[in-house]
Amino acid sequence: MQVKINGKIYKTEKTGTILEVCRDLKVEIPTLCYHGDLLPSEGLCRLCLVKTNCHRGLVASCQTLAKDYLEVLTEDEDIEKARKWNLELLWADHAGKCSRCQKNGHCELQNLARKFKIDIADFIPDWQNSPKESQLLALKESLKNRVVDNENPCLVRDNQYCVECRRCIKACREIQTVDSYGTNYRSIETKVGTPGEIPLDCVFCGQCANYCPTGAIVEKDETERMEELLADKSKLKVFQFAPSVRFTLGEEFGLKPGTFVEGKLISALKLLGADLIFDTTFSADLTIVEEANELVKRILAWSRGDEKVNLPMFTSCCPSWVLYIEKYWPQFIDHLSTCKSPQQMLGALMRSYYPERRKIHPRNIISLSIMPCIAKKFEAQRKEMQTDQLRDVDLVLTVRELARLIKKKKIDFNSLPDGKADSLLGDYTGAGILFASSGGVMEAALRTAYEKLTCEKLHQLDYQEVRGVKGIREAEVIFPRSKCLTKELKIKVAVAHKLVNAKKILESLEKGECEYDFVEVMACPDGCLGGGGQPIPSDSMVREERKRAIYALDKILPRRKSHENPMVRKVYEDYLKNPGSVLAEKLLHTKYENRKS
């Protein structure tokens, strides 16, 4: 296709809208409501206006298809004036609110206002010269329409920052099929929100916060609470951090996506006041040992003709996925693995194994967690996630919250030396690292299940069929006849990321259209590396860089199977005894409840 943009002729293979073609050709057009993951664009912000030789007047480039021999003008006086006018209208509702906004410095609207030099818009009232009655009336009207929703443990909505871009609606509907957002009222009174502005009650994946261009939807900030806990000198502050965090935190400090910052992260936590730092990747390995044991038991029982076995078995590490089953598909609750997530398994060991070894009362330990996931805040508060009436995890911060805390304490992150996690609950394998990516839990579980079922060494460790970006990936895995397996065993597995794809699997299973033995689901795009608490932007290109780094680390680690982790073996030898033991069931497994209203 040949197009002429700003007087220059381009030949391109790219198809789609004018905006997409221009971006592919590195021609910049400002946008606010557009996002490459949420197509087609709503075209509501009117900032991407252009002129063409096929249309009268200005058109939205995010909604207008490019075609052969199209001539496009992206900059001239009319376009600049219209863009600035629309931007001033949007900015008028925000002026003066940035200092108290959580997205200050990361807000797309703020960045555009700075770029277009919009300081005081014509639409902002001159309060100094207005009668007091007018000021009070305007304030009353503003407060009447304001909705602040902070009743859940994960997200905060404040519609005074909303620019009506509708990205949250598209993300919730098209990525997760939860449909928590929509429009209320009509005409010029139309507002984006929950139906009837009821408190948010969803799966708390946080994708709405990831895609929101302003501070209208953000994670519930608990950095001040973290500071209070860290200031308590009478207790031991013990941190854990998820596999993906070491590949993403650096982005908050100007480093490229996928940059490995594990050592700097550990040093930063020590400067913040950590007494001990464990690695959730260790408990990812522990999770796999327990989960593979559970899977093998179910499969062998099924192969012996036990019709009461619930197959397929679903993974249970993703709290949004678990909530999705509990709220919308409770008929599948018994298919969920009973294994706690790695965060909660490590939290349980912090309340039992560690204090017992160190002769410390569990109440004198503060259990803290750094996660890529907003829903982990909810998971930590579940009543099932307690050991002897103490919460396994006291507080969860997302990657973004941790970055804000590091910056607040004026820690020069990029200059920090590399620290090391405490080895007692800190060693990990490549299989544990794979938890950061969609398909990783499946691959890690298959590596362990193979050797447990066959009693033979697995040499080909990479299960390429469960990797990739497809929404649903399927594979048939063969466990050959061996000294521990009297006949060849074939199992069918599936991997899904984004709940829209999980829903397709659930619908097919319910109709009897497909058969699986093991299914992995991660609610967020590409899994934890695209989690709701990760650095923004978290688009497909950024996620691909993160993913590449994750698989590269797995490839070079000396141990790549969870059951080969020496510290996992030690915990079993010293404390848990065997996978699925009475103590393991008490500490590492959980129950679920029907939350369907």
Of 88, 290, 379, 451, which is the active-site residue? 379
**Helix, strand or coil for residue 165?**
coil
Whether 341 sits among the annotated catalytic residues: the reply is no
Whether 294 sits among the annotated catalytic residues: the reply is yes
Of 101, 165, 208, 317, which is the active-site residue? 317
Of all helices (H) and strands (E), which one includes residue 381? helix 375-381
Tell me if 517 sits within 8 A of 487, measured CB to CB. no
Tell me if 373 sits within 8 A of 528, measured CB to CB. yes
Main-chain phi, psi angles of 176, to 5 degrees: -115, -15
- List own/partner pairs for 499-502 with CB under 8 A and 24 or more apart: 499/175, 499/176, 499/177, 499/178, 499/203, 499/205, 499/320, 499/321, 499/324, 499/523, 500/174, 500/175, 500/176, 500/177, 500/471, 501/471, 501/472, 502/321, 502/324
Whether 384 sits among the annotated catalytic residues: the reply is yes
Of 384, 507, 515, 573, which is the active-site residue? 384
Whether 228 sits among the annotated catalytic residues: the reply is no
DSSP one-letter string for 541-585: HHHHHHHHHHHHHHHHSS--SGGG-HHHHHHIIIII-STT-HHHH
CB-based burial, 99-135: b 16+ in 10 Å, e otherwise: eebbbeebbbbbebbeeeebeebeeeeeeeeeeeeee
Return the structure tokens found at 365.
Answer: 């330990």
Q: How far is CA 449 from CA 77, 136, 491, in A?
A: 65, 68, 11
Residue with tokens 């390429």: 464
Of 180, 337, 341, 369, which is the active-site residue? 337
Main-chain phi, psi angles of 308, to 5 degrees: -85, -5
**Helix, strand or coil for residue 528?**
helix
Of 219, 291, 401, 443, which is the active-site residue? 291
- Count other C-beta atoms under 10 Å from residue 592's C-beta: 18
Per this entry, what is the length of the chain?
597
Can you say whether the dihedral through the CA atoms of 47, 52, 58, 61 is positive or negative?
negative
Of 41, 498, 528, 538, which is the active-site residue? 528
Please name the residues in contact with 568: beta carbons below 8 A apart, sequence gap of 6 or more. 282, 285, 286, 289, 427, 562
Tell me if 219 sits within 8 A of 401, measured CB to CB. yes
Distance CA 538, CA 550 (A): 16
Main-chain phi, psi angles of 178, to 5 degrees: -90, -30
Of 222, 252, 294, 326, which is the active-site residue? 294
Distance CA 211, CA 489 (A): 44
Of all helices (H) and strands (E), which one includes residue 191? strand 191-193
DSSP one-letter string for 201-254: -S----HHHHH-SSSSEEE---HHHHHHHHT-TTSEEEEEE-TTHHHHGGGGGT
DSSP one-letter string for 285-309: HHHHHHHHHHHHHHHHHHHTT-TTS
Of 220, 237, 376, 561, which is the active-site residue? 376
Return the structure tokens found at 88.
Answer: 């001033």
Whether 555 sits among the annotated catalytic residues: the reply is no
Whether 337 sits among the annotated catalytic residues: the reply is yes
Please name the residues in contact with 293: beta carbons below 8 A apart, sequence gap of 6 or more. 452, 579, 580
Give me the residues paired with residue 278 across strands. 240
Return the structure tokens found at 392.
Answer: 């396994």
Residue with tokens 């404040």: 158
Give catalytic residues, as residue numbers.
291, 294, 317, 337, 376, 379, 384, 528
